[in-house]
Amino acid sequence: MDTVIYNILPTEMQQLVQQIEERIGREIGIRPLSDQARRMGNVPAIQIEDNGRHLAVDLMLPPESNPAPHIIAHEILHAKHAILDGAPMLQPKIPPMKIVISAINNDSEHLHVIPAEIMMFPEAKAFWERDFTAGLHSFADRVRNDRDRKSVRNDLLRFMLVTSAVLPDWNGHDAVDAHLRNLSIVSDANNLRQAYASVSGSKEQVLSTLVRFHRLRTDDYIVCYAFAPPAPLPAHKH
């Protein structure tokens, strides 16, 4: 990894970088953020690519950015989740599923990544409170006006799950609940909370639960591991 970026990280994160690089047999690269990623938020991102011979992990940064250490650490934790922890990831079988599959992957990882980030960097808690509050405000308009009710439903259910799991004392939960009532999906939300509570220790079962609540078909996606061939998700727990 680039020395300047590496040196702003605490020792524990530097050790994670070394472990990831040893596992993939190459350095974590630094690349400019892609145009697509910039349109989605212009914030740092991690990219993991498998060309059939080796894995490449790149930290993508916005131009002229100076991200805080916890932001860099957040992306390294995403890479750790896939490469060192062996967590599964979904891959879309067809292009129209790319956005929703990416969102499911990201939020399933956030259930593990954000608590670890806050544990290492207590200041990250305030950052995520602000980020979730901004996300909450975006739902106010979507709940009223978005004609794609399925998309709003799925996004709000994931948002509810992540915020309640990683920031239980965040002051936005009542507003989230109000949006759930407006969409008449309180029952879905309660069922998702209960399902997650019963499988939260299993990365495979968490992903399987999100797939089920998104009502995805098996021909919409495949399941991949960083160091294993595509595999089916485990059977749902009820």
Q: Render each residue's pLDDT in the chain as its tens digit; 238 residues.
A: 999 999 999 999 999 999 999 999 999 998 888 766 666 565 788 888 876 567 789 998 887 678 899 999 999 999 999 999 989 999 999 999 999 999 999 999 999 999 999 999 999 999 999 999 999 998 988 888 877 889 999 999 999 999 999 999 999 999 999 999 999 999 999 999 999 999 998 989 999 999 999 999 999 999 988 765 445 556 554 4
Confirm whether 218 is domain-assigned: yes
Please tell me whether residues 77 and 97 are part of one structural domain: no
Please tell me whether residues 73 and 119 are part of one structural domain: no
Q: What is the pLDDT of residue 143?
A: 83
Last residue of a domain, one of 66, 83, 100: 83
Q: How far is the C-alpha of 3 from the C-alpha of 5, rounded, in Å?
A: 6
**Helix 124-145, helix 149-166: angle, nearest 10:** 160
Helix ranges, 93-167 (H): 98-120, 124-145, 149-166
Contact 26, 49 (CB under 8 A): no
Confirm whether 230 is domain-assigned: no
Q: What is the pLDDT of residue 49?
A: 81
Contact 22, 55 (CB under 8 A): no
Domain that holds residue 147: 89-224
Tell me how many domains the chain contains.
Answer: 2
Q: Of 62, 69, 165, give the one whose Cα is nearest residue 112.
A: 165
Please tell me whether residues 136 and 32 are part of one structural domain: no
Last residue of a domain, one of 83, 100, 127: 83
Please tell me whether residues 79 and 94 are part of one structural domain: no
Please tell me whether residues 41 and 121 are part of one structural domain: no
Q: How far is the C-alpha of 125 from the C-alpha of 118, rounded, in Å?
A: 6
Please tell me whether residues 78 and 96 are part of one structural domain: no
In this structure, what token pair is assigned to residue 25? 């047999």
Q: Which amino acid is at 142?
A: R
Last residue of a domain, one of 83, 113, 135: 83
Please tell me whether residues 67 and 143 are part of one structural domain: no
Confirm whether 15 is domain-assigned: yes
Q: What is the pLDDT of residue 127?
A: 95
Q: What is the pLDDT of residue 164?
A: 97
Please tell me whether residues 164 and 179 are part of one structural domain: yes
Confirm whether 187 is domain-assigned: yes
Please tell me whether residues 60 and 166 are part of one structural domain: no
Please tell me whether residues 137 and 196 are part of one structural domain: yes
Please tell me whether residues 146 and 163 are part of one structural domain: yes
Q: What is the pLDDT of residue 233?
A: 59
pTM for the full predicted model: 0.89
Confirm whether 29 is domain-assigned: yes
In this structure, what token pair is assigned to residue 236? 């749902």
Please tell me whether residues 173 and 205 are part of one structural domain: yes
